[in-house]
Every structure is written in structure tokens, then in C-alpha cells.
Amino acid sequence: MAGSMFLRAYLRLVQPRDANLATPLPRPDGMVIWAVCADPRQVAAMDRLSDQLIDDGEDVTVLTTTPDADQPRTRHATRMFIDHWRPDLVLWAGGPLDPAVMFEIEHAAIPRLLVGASADTIALTYGRLFPGLLRRFLRGFGDVLTTYEDVTKQAIKAGASPDHTRFIGRLEAGIPVPSCNETERATLATTFSARPIWLAADLPYAELSILHRAYRDAARRAHRTLLILAPRNTSDGEKIAADLRADGLSVARRGAGEMPKDATQIYVVDTDEGLGLWCRLAPITYLGGSLSSGEICDPFAPALLGSAVLTGPKIADHTDHFGRLSAAKAVTQIDDPADFGRAIEMLLATDHAARQAHAAWDVTSQGADATNDLVTTIYVYLDQVNT
């Protein structure tokens, strides 16, 4: 009771004015999970969670809100929001805890989980220095699921229940695993036999001369090397093949129905089959564009398929994924095109590519593991709602 009096006093001090509320959509049938997200990355992770629940056959709607969009921030707005949507479960998906919102969730007696708790959840929670406030909020969550192992200790120290606080890792939006025709993959794997193979994925025409030099450098020591070249624009395939043949290379072009022979050095795959097939066949993937325009595909795509990632310095499109791969020593980066061939040679000649691919798999699978853990926990709460 004393805690409630303190909280009410605090809310009277900080209560902001109500924002204008848009007319909401009708509440869907089935159960509703309200995911309170701190930023768009968490929204993407919640979208992935929703997809998994739907794939499992659950009649559940995951309703996501963000602070810079439609998340209610006052007690009155929150109360109207809850009355309309009647959520069966609240997921506070990281970010600082908002007292006005938390009070109304608590008042409505909605089960709640703190998901992806980070140091900022504790350090930036509004009114955390008010006596007992942070502890009250943390104890109100049925489970506190942390992003990093050291945050688990911080959360318990701040008041979370030791029996209901655990580390699950980062929730990732993830990317779909690129698919392929398995029959075609098996046929090509037999055709390529034991040849050293590497892939230049999504290669812009502007990088062709760089790639040509890199192939020549690598092939001096890695004999019988086969380069699979996937152009960014499939319409460039004929021109790319002609340029490489003019430079004395043996080239086969998939768009022309050609298959690589023992003497083939470069296989130009100017078709719309996607990278799933080629990343499965090549133990090394260079991300085209990273030595020129900076427009590149997500490094998680080849990493998910067990292909070691090689990149140039221009990786601004996917800095978060590159940062995680780099921290795990799961990517090879070259800053100078002159180093391209040597990097390929090193990856082909040693078990470095296999070690790197294994480390990359660990990184890319972490988000899936965390999501699976969260789904299992959610089912426990939804089962309680249904009983």
C-alpha cells in the first residue's frame, strides 16, 4: 500500500498532458500481445516473433507500439488503449520503463514480460531514483529476460526476482534463410567435385576489373580454382563473360545454358535463382559492392548458409550485422583491392574459412535461439490465460 501511495505521488509530479488519440482499429479475435518497443529494431524482432507464432498455428495478434509513433504515454491514454485492445500479455521489449504506462498495465492486472532488458532499461528508467519505484516495476514482471549476461546481475541488484531473471541474448529480426533447389545443388556439387570454389555475390559491373585481378592472384597458388560470379544485374552477364574471355580466361555462362568444365575458371551465373544455391556451394563469399558503391547484400545471408564472408571497407548498409560478425572474428575485411587476391588465397589454402564460417553461424543463430526461448515462455503465459 505504501508503494502505491509513493507511485501515485510520483505520477502526479510527472504526469504529462494527453496526446490526441486516433480512432483505433477494431480489436482482432483471439489473443492479443502488446509489445512495447523502444525502437524500430525491436519492432522488427517482434514482427519475427509474430510470424513464428502464426507459423505455429496460434490465433495471436502481436500489437507493437513505439514511443515516437502511437505508444500511449499518459495514464489516461494508456487506460483507453488497454480498454480497447484488452491485451492478454504485455512484452516490454527493452528501453526504459515508463511509470505512467507501467502503472496502468499493473492496474489492469495484465501479465507482463520484460524482454531484452539492457543496461539502459535500468539506467534510463524514468523516476528510477524515486524510493522503491524501479524495484516495484521489475518485480511486477513475471519474467525478466536480459540481452547480456552481465545485465542479469544488474537487474537482480536493481530489484528483479533472482528466480525469474535470466539471460536469453539478443532478439534479432533476422533474415529468411535463402532457399535453393536441392536437386540442382547436389548436381552442381558433383560437377564441381573437389575444386576450390569462391563466390562473388551481387557483383556490380564496376568491380569486374578488381575481381579479375583478384582471381589471377589467387589462382597462382590455388590451382583449379573456380570463381562463381553472380552479377548484380543479370543483363550484364553476356558482357561480363565477353570481357573475361577477351582477357584470356575460360568462362562458362549459365544464362546461355553452359555448364562449367574442368578447364573453366569463371562461371557467370546470370540467372534469377538467387544466392541461396551459390552460397551453399561456395565456402567463401565476397560481397559485391563493398569495394566500390557500398551497396551490398546482408552478410548474414551467406553466413546463415555456412559460407565465410569476405568484404571491402564500404559496409554502411549493414553496420550492426558486420559489427557482430567482426567481434566474433567471423568476417574477413580488406581495405585495399590489392589485398583481395591474397585474402582469397589465404581463405582457400587454410581451414580459416571453416573456422570463420563456424563463428558466423554462432552469431547468426543467436537471435533465433533467443526468439525460440521467448516463444516457449510466451506459451506458458498464454496457457495460463486460457485456463
Q: Residue 128: its pLDDT value, please?
A: 60
pLDDT tens for 316-359 read 878 888 888 888 888 999 999 999 999 998 888 778 888 888 88
Amino acid at 215: Y
Q: In what order do the strands lie in the sheet with 60-65?
A: 60-65, 31-37, 89-93, 112-117, 143-146, 165-167
pLDDT reading at 229 higher than 90: yes
The full set of domains in the chain, from first to last, is: 29-172+367-386 (3.40.50.11720), 182-349 (3.40.50.2000)
Q: How far apart are the first and last CA of the chain?
A: 29
Q: Is 250 helix (H, G, I), strand (E, B) or coil?
A: coil
Can you state the angle between helices 99-107 and 2-14, rounded to 10 degrees? 140
Q: Residue 322: its pLDDT value, please?
A: 87
Written as nine digits, the cell of 199 is 563466390
Q: What is the mean pLDDT of residues 137-148?
A: 90
Lowest mean pLDDT among 206-215, 274-283, 322-331, 333-342: 322-331
User: Average pLDDT, whole number, for the chain?
Assistant: 84
Report the alpha-carbon distance of residue 44 to residue 48 in Å, rounded.
6
pLDDT reading at 245 higher than 80: yes
- Contacts of 249-258 spanning 24+ positions with Cβ under 8 A: 249/212, 249/215
pLDDT tens for 60-93 read 889 888 875 444 467 888 888 899 999 999 999 8
Q: In what order do the strands lie in the sheet with 251-253?
A: 251-253, 266-268, 226-231, 197-203, 284-287, 308-311, 331-333
pLDDT band at 164 (very low <50, low <70, confident <90, very high): very high
Q: Residue 130: its pLDDT value, please?
A: 64
